Structure 1
């Protein structure tokens, strides 16, 4: 992964132990210490990135960020997940963002969601870094699902 010849900042064990999950602290605690993103296969420590928080604010600052999301099938609506292509699943922020980025870039329907397994097929994950997205693979997955 290219970072303009910059080396990725890696959290210390103390940084990891002191991280509380930010606004998703309950989810961070709920998944436990040995959680692994079912899409990109990174663990909680590996999803931590040094990133700018509140980037559009005059009070922006850098900090460790490791956000978790309850990813669900948007075609079924948030409350009727039992009928979707996949069950609600906790995934990392980078995988959740990759789902949205692929849909936007490929002009896919907003109510379509890639499953966690499908996301894992089109992202290249780097510990403590951002994902790279293979849009050709994402398109092939979408086409295969919608034949």
Structure 2
């Protein structure tokens, strides 16, 4: 993978003694030239160590430099490479900026200082895909130093408004793939989405349903296993029991009731905006980690959930079940 590196016009004058760098085991740091500067905060290679706490006994600093990348890539790169035909599987350009080496403080500030205040509760299901570019981070820091945090947060919110459009298109893309997988073969899906390489995701609408938080990685797994005799490998007896109860094309509350009758407590965790996020299970009163059921698998196995119709009913069902448990 090719990284973008900032190069300084002059060597920095850090207050940090150079001999302390012998404790730094971060491979990326040690490979950088002395002239490197962080593209997010404009500090030099040794200046970024000024905020590192070299406590006694802390001999190794292993994460001084991070590869800052677009998290949309994590979500869909393997899926895109799988559905685009073999002769078109060159890397699809869906990120406007390349992975970039940045200091750990800038990489962390993107989460704590930009994402947290910028992403509204209505988009909490999109948060895992949000990434601000290195130039966004640099501008945030410049605005913060000159005009204060309030102005910088206002900038982050404005930038998120633009980033959100891409996230909605990608979500529509995931939903389209999931729907196609219910009816079409892998070859038909590949042909339909071959143009992604040329057009990116501009052809997908910005009004996805967002009922269930789908995963590109899990959709790719479904495509892979659909070419074999079994759609999904069943790893535990409990997985098999859950899968059997989901193949009936019934709604979420129906599955919760049926599983409850079989001694399995299925608890859906729903984002504050109504999007189905994940599940937890108890079998005979003991917590159980199911390998099978995630919102993506639930959707693909015929489980039905609509935040417009079912969110309130599911919440009421969960409340009534908790009240019954309290009584007994």
Name the TM tier (shorter chain). Answer: 0.5 to 0.7
How far did 1:144 drift?
Answer: 3.3
How far did 1:98 drift?
Answer: 1.4
Compare the two structures and name the one with the higher helix fraction.
2
How far did 1:106 drift?
Answer: 2.4
Could you tell me which residue of structure 1 aligns to residue 18 of structure 2? 16
Could you tell me which residue of structure 2 aligns to residue 5 of structure 1? none
How far did 1:141 drift?
Answer: 1.5
Could you tell me which residue of structure 2 aligns to residue 7 of structure 1? none
How far did 1:18 drift?
Answer: 3.7
Alpha carbons 1:49, 1:66 under 8 Å: kept:
no
Structure with greater contact order relative to length (CA < 8 Å, sep ≥ 6): 1
1:37 matches 2:49:
no
In 2, Cα distance between the equivalents of 1:44 and 1:32?
Answer: 8
1:104 matches 2:104:
no
How far did 1:93 drift?
Answer: 1.2
How far did 1:139 drift?
Answer: 1.0
Structure 2 runs not aligned, ≥5 long: 1-13, 78-90, 121-126, 166-328
Could you tell me which residue of structure 1 aligns to residue 133 of structure 2? 115
In 2, Cα distance between the equivalents of 1:47 and 1:35?
Answer: 11
Could you tell me which residue of structure 1 aligns to residue 69 of structure 2? 72
In 1, Cα distance between the equivalents of 2:76 and 2:67?
Answer: 12
Please, which of 136, 142, 147 is the counterpart of residue 160 of structure 2?
Answer: 142
Distance 1:28 1:64, change over 3 A: closer
Could you tell me which residue of structure 2 aligns to residue 49 of structure 1? 50
Structure 1 runs not aligned, ≥5 long: 1-9, 126-131
Compare the two structures and name the one with the higher strand fraction.
1
Distance 1:27 1:51, change over 3 A: closer
How far did 1:84 drift?
Answer: 1.9
How far did 1:97 drift?
Answer: 0.9
Distance 1:60 1:18, change over 3 A: closer
> Which entry has the higher C-alpha Rg, 1 or 2?
2
In 1, Cα distance between the equivalents of 2:160 and 2:30?
Answer: 33
In 2, Cα distance between the equivalents of 1:49 and 1:79?
Answer: 37
Alpha carbons 2:75, 2:129 under 8 Å: kept:
no
**Two-structure CA RMSD over aligned residues (Å):** 3.6
SS at match of 2:66: strand
Length-normalised TM-score, structure 2: 0.32
